Amino acid sequence: MKTYLQAVSAAAICLATSTFAASAADPVTVVGWGGTWDKAYKDGVWDKYTEKTGVPIVMEEWGGEVAKVRAQVQAGNITYDVVSVEAPAMEVGCAEGLFVPLTPEITGDAANYLPGTLHECGVASDTWATVLAYNTDVYKGDAAPKSWADFWNVEKFPGKRGLYQQAQFTLENALMADGVKREDMYKVLATPEGVDRAFAMLDKIKPNVVWWSTTTQGIQNLDSGEVTLSDAFNARITNEAINEKKPYAIAWDAGFFYGTDYWAVVKGAPHQQGGLDLLKWFSIPENQAGFSKLYAYGTGRKEAADLIPADWKANLPTSPEHLQYGAAYDNDFWTEHKEALEERFKAWLAK
């Protein structure tokens, strides 16, 4: 009897200990892009991970500044565990040793990923596009803008229009408006004459621009009627049009560029292993698809795309019907030239 009671007691202690460990699991701090993007990740991915593992996810928002990660690492005061970064920032952060290299044990076979969605230090959090969006109450049917040249045509389309307040994305749009083909974009932009040409186009439209620096601000400008057309990230427009029933549409055939953001684990993070465990779970196709089922950005894993309903997949920039009008942002170009072009853009904006 004594042996039996000891066994029962030991089992009870073990159960209590494991229960306490699960309930007191250290949270993983995940830093994303905020707003409805974060909400889609919470509802479609992170809540499911917590339910499965007992590990809480603490969500924070940022603007993708790799300098913040660098400052935390240099100060020895790291508060981020996992961050979503744009491709140029991924290149810089990985090269500087700020992010943990990922092995196939974490990500799965690289052959199962779409081109450009897997990096030495990251796995795609989303594939997005910057597009031409407009108010369908103002521009109906054939009267709607159909090109970036239309966007720049303030006589045919009078009033204010929104543009993202940075060189990247904006310079490409300016050159498309001036007739540069997407496949020639970085040949042109890599020359001093090409950069001057882009800024000359911005000179033409500057008095008619309302600049935005966050997606929420860009949408608010459309909502208020301050602008009736704007560049925008595609999923935010789709969300507003379908889920919020707002009169917005995307001119996909105007042409667009698309890019990939990546999840990365900060090297030396307080919960570095927890972050790696999270990305290993996220890299399973059905878990990756949880985000894209709720938000109109593409996935990394090919199999994940197959799990998205066909009617919703048609809203993604990576859908065949849209991709014919798109081209990829040149990450190598922006890694090399971003600092100089953003400085020139800031100086131009201040004039």
Q: What are the pLDDT digits (tens) for 252-285?
A: 999 999 999 999 999 999 999 999 999 999 999 9
Q: Are strands 82-86 and 28-32 parallel, antiparallel or unpaired?
A: parallel
CA neighbor of 305 nearest in space, from 152, 145, 126: 126
Q: What are the pLDDT digits (tens) for 151-169?
A: 999 999 999 999 999 999 9
Q: Report the percentage of the chain scoring pLDDT > 70.
A: 93
pLDDT of amino acid 335: 87
CATH dotted code for 129-258+327-350: 3.40.190.10
Q: What is the Cα–Cα distance from 187 to 198, expressed in whole angstroms?
A: 13
Sign of torsion over alpha carbons 107, 110, 114, 120: positive
Same fold, 2-127+259-323 and 129-258+327-350: yes
CATH dotted code for 2-127+259-323: 3.40.190.10
Q: Is the model's pLDDT at 127 over the cut of 90?
A: yes
Cβ contact 256:169 at 8 Å? no
Q: Is the model's pLDDT at 100 over the cut of 50?
A: yes
Confidence of residue 24 (pLDDT cuts 50, 70, 90): low
Cβ contact 329:176 at 8 Å? no
pLDDT of amino acid 156: 95
pLDDT of amino acid 18: 38
Confidence of residue 26 (pLDDT cuts 50, 70, 90): very high
pLDDT of amino acid 319: 87
Cβ contact 125:32 at 8 Å? yes
Q: What is the Cα–Cα distance from 341 to 348, expressed in whole angstroms?
A: 10
Phi, psi of 27 (to 5 degrees): -70, 155
Q: What are the pLDDT digits (tens) for 302-318?
A: 899 889 999 999 999 98
Single-letter amino acid, residue 165: Q
Q: What is the Cα–Cα distance from 72 to 64, expressed in whole angstroms?
A: 14
Q: What is the Cα–Cα distance from 197 to 178, expressed in whole angstroms?
A: 8
Confidence of residue 115 (pLDDT cuts 50, 70, 90): confident
User: What residue spans define the domains of the chain?
Assistant: 2-127+259-323, 129-258+327-350
Q: Report the percentage of the chain scoring pLDDT > 90.
A: 85
Single-letter amino acid, residue 259: G
